[in-house]
């Protein structure tokens, strides 16, 4: 009865809040929702419920396991990947091929996020999850990592994550160095040809070459800066030693469980034993000593792990330094090529300036010659006028005027040549 009364009370409120189309004839008609449809369509035909979030679907990953060196292909969605590697979404966004991000190497609590050219992977202490693509470098990386894991040397104690990171750096550096070598092979003959023959076709090829050079230099510079930043920060390098962190976590969990089991066993033993005297019993003192010894051993193990961490940081720093030298050499090649291009451009500009100066000189010569000829035209025009003047009565007047005009024109022309030859060598 109470529920019926409540429904009768709510009914007028619902009618007032949401009036029906039949009750209000003046209200505009709302678009009807098709049966079975989960939402309404906005103007423009955009079906909102059927939209998919960008990058939210499953992706193909190549998994290389550290223990067995097995390679397999997995289909994992983004949420599962985040839970599996304990990574935030912004870190996985760096590996998304739909976005264009510069080269990045990030050390996290349980994984290393690597985005180096074609190599986009997540490295953990137990496996490498490589973003599958059609690029040959990705398949070569997986095959080479498997081969190195199977043919591991006797004295090689480098952790798995460092071996995977080393291979990623090697693949990126070799790829960039190969592109730089290819650019050099194409650039130097073209620039030499451009210095001897300046044409529109050669200039267009040089422009495209310079654009490729600038883009490649930017990519190489980013990889170099990323390696240098890792070498300069001990904290980032310590974050990348995942094996040590995994061992410490396992030992800590094992120690906590053993201590908890020992305390629970002591409590059970104390409950079934005789009443304890006011003086401290030997059992309590032994239990306290064992607890202190366990804590001391854990502290000593932590100090030992810190020393081991320092050693591995030095190993990682030497590894990064080796590839820093390689990528720096590639950057020096590109810098030398850019300087050669700049020198070629300067040489071409000098040649064009020389041609421009010759054209200006020729134009000035033509202008001067035109001026001299115009003087003769003025004299001829004066003597050709139809009016009486005393000049015409002088004997050989026309010849004298012609001689004077010629001498004046020659003097002006020679003065111009002298001025143009010597005045341009004087400082401004």
List beta partners, residue 128: 64, 123
pLDDT at 325: 94
Q: Residue 307: which residues within 8 A CB-CB, separation 6 or more? A: none
Helix (H, G, I), strand (E, B) or coil at 133: coil
Pick the range with the lowest mean pLDDT from 44-58, 213-227, 287-301: 287-301
The span from the CA of 352 to the CA of 357, in Å, is 9
What digits encode the pLDDT tens for the residues 222-256? Answer: 999 999 999 888 888 888 888 888 777 776 655 55
The Cα angle at residue 414 between residues 413 and 418, in degrees rounded to 5? 120
What digits encode the pLDDT tens for the residues 21-63? Answer: 444 434 444 444 444 444 444 455 544 444 454 545 788 899 9
Q: β-strands 104-107, 71-76: how paired?
A: unpaired
Helix H or strand E encompassing 47: strand 46-47
pLDDT at 56: 57
Helix (H, G, I), strand (E, B) or coil at 422: helix
Residue 425 per-residue DSSP state:
G
What digits encode the pLDDT tens for the residues 395-411? Answer: 666 677 777 777 877 77
Residue pair 334/217 in contact (Cβ under 8 Å)? The answer is yes
Q: For 256-399, list the strands marked E by DSSP.
A: none
pLDDT at 211: 94
Pick the range with the lowest mean pLDDT from 8-12, 184-188, 205-209: 8-12
**Model confidence band, residue 136 (pLDDT cutoffs 50, 70, 90):** confident
Residue scoring higher pLDDT (44 or 428): 44
What digits encode the pLDDT tens for the residues 91-131? Answer: 888 888 888 888 899 988 889 999 998 899 999 988 999 98
pLDDT at 420: 66
Residue 412 per-residue DSSP state:
H
pLDDT at 338: 94
pLDDT at 386 over 90: no
The span from the CA of 26 to the CA of 96, in Å, is 52
pLDDT at 201 over 50: yes
pLDDT at 7 over 70: no
Residue scoring higher pLDDT (91 or 392): 91
């Amino acid at each position: 009865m109470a529920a019926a009364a409540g429904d009768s009370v709510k009914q007028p409120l619902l009618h007032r809040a949401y009036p029906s189309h039949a009750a209000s004839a003046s209200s505009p008609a709302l678009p009807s929702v098709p049966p079975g449809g989960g939402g309404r369509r906005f103007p423009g035909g955009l079906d909102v419920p059927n939209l998919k979030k960008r990058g939210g679907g499953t992706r193909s990953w190549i998994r290389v396991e550290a223990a067995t060196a097995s390679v397999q292909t997995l289909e994992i969605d983004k949420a599962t990947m985040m839970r599996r590697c304990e990574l935030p979404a912004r870190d996985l966004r760096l590996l998304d091929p739909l976005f264009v991000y510069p080269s990045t190497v990030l050390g996290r609590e349980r994984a290393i996020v690597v985005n180096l050219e074609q190599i986009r992977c997540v490295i953990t202490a137990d496996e490498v999850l490589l973003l599958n693509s059609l690029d040959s470098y990705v398949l070569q990386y997986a095959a080479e990592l498997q081969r190195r894991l199977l043919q591991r040397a006797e004295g090689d104690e480098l952790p798995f994550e460092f071996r995977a990171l080393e291979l990623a750096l090697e693949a990126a550096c070799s790829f960039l160095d190969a592109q730089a070598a290819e650019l050099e092979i194409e650039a130097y003959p073209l620039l030499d040809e451009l210095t001897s023959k300046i044409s529109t076709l050669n200039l267009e090829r040089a422009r495209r070459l310079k654009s490729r050079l600038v883009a490649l230099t930017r990519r190489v510079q980013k990889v170099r800066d990323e390696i240098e930043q890792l070498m300069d920060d001990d904290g980032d390098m310590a974050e990348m030693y995942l094996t040590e962190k995994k061992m410490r976590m396992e030992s800590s969990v094992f120690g906590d469980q053993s201590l908890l089991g020992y305390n629970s066993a002591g409590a059970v033993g104390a409950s079934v034993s005789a009443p304890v005297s006011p003086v401290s019993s030997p059992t309590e003192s032994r239990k306290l000593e064992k607890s202190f010894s366990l804590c001391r051993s854990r502290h000593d193990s932590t100090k030992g792990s810190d020393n081991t961490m320092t050693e591995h940081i030095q190993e990682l720093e030497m590894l990064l330094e080796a590839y820093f030298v390689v990528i720096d050499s590639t950057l020096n090649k590109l810098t030398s090529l850019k300087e050669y291009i700049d020198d070629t451009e300067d040489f071409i500009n000098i040649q064009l300036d020389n041609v421009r100066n010759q054209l200006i000189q020729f134009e000035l010569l033509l202008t001067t010659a035109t001026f001299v000829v115009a003087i003769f035209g003025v004299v001829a025009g004066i003597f050709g006028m139809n009016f009486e003047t005393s000049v015409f009565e002088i004997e050989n007047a026309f010849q004298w005027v012609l001689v004077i005009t010629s001498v004046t024109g020659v003097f002006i022309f020679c003065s111009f040549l002298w001025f143009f030859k010597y005045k341009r060598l004087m400082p401004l």
